[in-house]
Amino acid sequence: LSLAQTVDLTNCDREPIHMLGGVQPIGFLVATASDWVVRRASANVEAHLGRPPEALLGESLSRILTREALHQIGGRLHLLRGPNAVERLFGVTLQEGGPPYDLAIHMSGDSIVLEGEPSDLEDALEAGTTVRGMIARLHQVEGFEGLCREAVRQIRALTGFGRVMLYRFDHDGAGEVIAESTASFMPSFMGLHFPASDIPRQARLLYERNWLRLITDTELAPVPVLPLLDRHQQPLDLSLSVLRSVSPIHIEYLRNMGIRASMSISVLRKGRLWGLIACHNTEPLRVPFERRTAAELFGQIFSLALENREREEEAEREAQASQVHHRLMAALGAMRPGNRSLTEFLEMLSEVIDCDGIGLWSSTGTAMRGHTPTAEEFSGIVRFLHRAASGTIYATHRLGEMHPPAADFSQRAAGLLAIPLSRAPRDYLVFFRRAVTHSVTWAGDPNKPVTLGPNGLRLTPRKSFAAWQETVQGQSRPWSESDLMMAERLRVTLLEVVLQLTDMAERERR
Ligand code: BLA
């Protein structure tokens, strides 16, 4: 296991987490050639198949498993499709008179990998009925937030974890807990942010291929798969393994958090990792394989539901944009002479795009509402906009980097979205957002003691949160695609409004 020893907090991205050569002790692993001759076996295989690894290597599985079991496994092998396929069988008797096993079968290079866990005979899951019920409840809730809340609630009910979170990645890989279902005795993580480095790149790539991982007990040592290195000096690639032992760095993170069991389910959007349903338990927890399979299937359906809901929400935003157009036009018609200025609309406009403050800069005067820079700072921003934005919408969530004087007033405005209203002299409607560290704070108990392992302080959620705060120092929440779409629609509407206002003013003068 020397590969793992060279990894520390500075080079996490390079830890070969799929090549650590171990499985969790809740089951066994056997890898064979295409003729069923055993090439590798986990060190604990004797407890399950009655023979130690040395006695299995070079032997054919056909002499170890019943003919019926091997027939079933072989049948599934033919069903494997695509590079990430894993077939499953539940309640298979492997040896005459032996207990039933739940099995996972996949290919790793040219090896057939068979993993087995004793079936949980106490568990009376009706997988089909259960998942169908879960999906039905998912379809009953309204809106994005409702959907997310329902999903974590359902996963908690299915698996029994004490805390289940929906963890969503943002544009730079950092993440936020956006929904949670948690036992009353566990602290809430709702709304907390963590830096991208908490889940390194290779782990994310792996989670796009393999959609569920479970750590039943952080205190159980992994079982090596023997021989560790083959004749090409390679460990077995465990990317698709369901029993893979996880990175010791991550185990330490969980320990420091006081977590004994953890599970996460990938949430994908168009094949890319969008987030994770992350589950924690303060006691060891072994979720039976069939239940995990149900959870994984639910995760896939939830992913599709999210995509659907996103599309619906886009349509709603479109409708909202037209509504804003009509409201503005109607308000315009009702305006009295003397009051004819965009200033009258500021309040209404500030509700169209999510912001902390709004400012209008125009030849006829400036006006501001909410959290905004001072008038003097605003005039500096406008000079910057004259240079940066050539008649188009300009948006940044890092104003301080683009316009250095702004670094000093990020608590008032760290990001802005500017809509140009005319060509010359250039007027702008500007939406402001404050520094994100102002709106997000740690909600946990600051006095809760933690025990620290060899990698120490950095590997705790609180330190992670602090690290995240550092990476976003002086930045606002970024503007979304949908914010930009809305701004573009608003720009067209406002040009029309401005034209009409000018028209009215001229008619009055004549
Ligand atoms: C994996 N890190 C993970 C996983 C999660 C997190 C959910 C997936 C594995 C699992 O299901 O447990 C992170 N877990 C979180 C976060 C929260 C949470 C943010 O509950 C907050 C609510 N981790 C670090 C640092 C490194 C690191 C600093 O914090 C490296 C320097 C590594 N995390 C790391 C590795 C994995 C991981 C290597 C992969 C584990 C594996 O699959 O083998």
pLDDT in tens, 393-442: 999 999 999 999 999 998 899 999 999 987 666 899 999 999 987 666 66
Q: What is the 37 CA–ligand 1 centroid distance (Å)?
A: 36
CA distances from 310 to 144, 314, 319 (A): 8, 6, 14
Q: What is the 404 CA–ligand 1 centroid distance (Å)?
A: 35
Which helix (H) or strand (E) segment holds residue 399: the answer is helix 399-402
Task: Read off the pLDDT of each residue in 83-106 and give the average, rounded to a whole number.
Answer: 96
- Looking from the CA of 374 toward its CB, the CA atoms found within 13 Å total 5
pLDDT tens column, 173-198: 889 999 999 999 998 899 888 888 88
Which helix (H) or strand (E) segment holds residue 285: the answer is none
pLDDT tens column, 374-384: 999 999 999 99
Instruction: Answer whether 15 contacts ligand 1 (Cβ < 6 A).
Output: yes
Given a cut of 80, whether residue 63 has pLDDT beyond it is yes
Which helix (H) or strand (E) segment holds residue 236: the answer is none
Confidence tier at 455 by pLDDT (50, 70, 90): low
Average pLDDT, the chain: 90
d(CA 152, CA 341): 48
d(CA 227, CA 42): 9
Give percent helix, percent strand, percent coil of the chain, each to the nearest 5: 40, 20, 35
Confidence tier at 4 by pLDDT (50, 70, 90): very low
User: The complex's ipTM?
Assistant: 0.95
Instruction: Answer whether 250 contacts ligand 1 (Cβ < 6 A).
Output: yes
CA distances from 230 to 359, 379, 448 (A): 67, 68, 46
Instruction: Answer whether 180 contacts ligand 1 (Cβ < 6 A).
Output: no
Task: Read off the pLDDT of each residue in 31-48 and give the average, rounded to a whole number.
Answer: 98
Q: CA geometry: angle at 470 spanning 464 and 472, to 5°? A: 110
| CA dihedral of residues 394, 397, 399, 402 (deg, nearest 10) | -70
Q: What is the 482 CA–ligand 1 centroid distance (Å)?
A: 30
Residue nearest to atom 14 of ligand 1 (CA): 278
The atom of ligand 1 lying closest to the CA of 278 is 7
pLDDT tens column, 285-334: 999 999 999 999 999 999 999 999 888 888 888 888 888 888 888 888 77
Which helix (H) or strand (E) segment holds residue 246: the answer is none
pTM of the model: 0.85
> 3-state secondary structure string, 156-214?
HHHHCCCEEEEEEECCCCCEEEEEEEECCCCCCCCCCEECHHHCCHHHHHHHHHCCEEE
With H, G, I as helix, E, B as strand and everything else as coil, classify residue 271: coil
